[in-house]
Amino acid sequence: MSAVLAAALVVALAGCSDDAKPATAVACDEVSGPMIDIPTRTDQEPRLRLPQPQGWERTTKLDSETIRFALRNEGLAEEGFTPNAVVTLQKVGSDLGKPQQILDAQNQQLVTKLKVKDLKSTPAQVCGSQAQSTTYTAPAMGKIPARNATSLAVVYQAGDVNYVSTLTVQTIKADNPTYVTDSTTILKGFQILPPK
């Protein structure tokens, strides 16, 4: 399952460290507020960091090999859906092509497997790595209503191995001012860094 698809399927999601500066020459976008270091599983994996705006709390309900971290904000819940931010990480072989081909394949899976609508993508960069920001409408699933999502997919290259990380934020009330501010901070401040 692709990282974007795994993040997109997280529809009913239920130690901060500010002082460590990334040990890298690559500039990452800075945001104000606390940053969370997402635990890695191996010494080869890139390090992932995520802003944690006020009111957004860690949930471990759907943690897995692919889904590495999730936050949710109960205070913004509407119609039984709690806005959330989900981070995935997957290792992919270099045989999948160049970074843009990998990013395009992620979006293709969203369309074919999740049946998303109104998909729009723009090129991006995260800490010097090629990325793509994609907005879409995810269809209703059971009791979960249709929702607006933004997914930031990043390809981190480490020799002949690529890692794909996605950060997906989603809500059913995309015009809520607090959600707009918080989700923008989370997406802008997401970091992918070399292993220590």
pLDDT in tens, 149-173: 999 999 999 888 899 999 999 999 9
Nearest to 166 by CA among 110, 113, 118: 110
Residue 25's pLDDT band, with cuts at 50, 70 and 90, is low
Residue 4 has pLDDT above 70, yes or no: no
Q: Which of 26-40, 63-77, 170-184 has the lowest mean pLDDT?
A: 26-40
End-to-end CA distance of the chain: 28
Check residue 33 and give its pLDDT: 87
pLDDT single digits (tens) 82-110: 999 999 999 987 777 889 999 999 999 99
pLDDT: is 15 or 147 the higher one? 147
The total number of residues written for the chain in this structure? 196
Quote the radius of gyration of the chain (alpha carbons, Å): 16
Closest CA to 107 of 51, 161, 164: 164
Sheet of 161-171, strand order: 57-58, 67-72, 84-93, 161-171, 147-158, 129-138, 117-126
Average pLDDT over residues 129-142: 95
Segment holding 190, helix H or strand E: none
Distance CA 168, CA 5 (A): 10
CB of 151 closer than 8 Å to CB of 88: no
